[in-house]
Amino acid sequence: MNVLLACAAAVVALGLVFAWRRERRLLRRRVLLTEILDLADALEQELLECRARLREVPALAAAALSPAEQVSARATLAAEPQVQEALRDLLAHRLWLKQHAANASETELVAARDALDATRSTLARQLERLADVRADVEQTRATVAAQPSEVPH
């Protein structure tokens, strides 16, 4: 009878260990999915902000820069197709999650999270460069506005 009780206790203990491990694994998956969705939302907002800033540069440049400098500033619009491509990639990423998140391995989810994080880091550097361009345009505008206008003789 004692052997039977010991076996039953061992089975219950093993069941509890397996249940605990399963819950931990499910919790890790939920945390990963939450991180992925939060990163995707943040990336989307940053891409939309980047696109809006890119579209502002030519108007700023037109008011403050010479025609040659304006051409350079308009060249920043060449980055807009890259932003559009990133938005399409993000949509594809979201669709993949919708279709495969339930069956994706933890490794696949970690890779998805890391890819989004790397894209956000790259975009952050591009936004910094865009802020620098904008600051340069603003500086030029201020310098031009501060210069006395020449009166022809």
Q: Give domain limits for the chain.
A: 27-145
Report the SS3 class of residue 150: coil
Predicted TM-score (pTM) above 0.75: no
Confidence of residue 53 (pLDDT cuts 50, 70, 90): confident
Amino acid at 88: R
In this predicted structure, the answer to whether residue 65 has a pLDDT above a threshold of 80 is: no
| pLDDT tens profile 68-122 | 555 555 555 567 788 888 888 899 889 998 999 889 999 999 999 999 888 888 8
| pLDDT tens profile 14-50 | 898 889 988 998 899 999 999 999 999 999 999 998 8
Task: Go through 8-47 and write b for each residue having 16 or more CB atoms within 10 A of its CB, e for each that does not.
Answer: eeeeeeeeeeeeeeeeeeeeebeebbebbeebbeebeebb
Structure tokens at 148: 């006395």
Is residue 109 within 8 Å of residue 36, measured between CB atoms? yes
* 77 φ/ψ angles, rounded to the nearest 5 degrees: -65, -15
In this predicted structure, the answer to whether residue 63 has a pLDDT above a threshold of 90 is: no
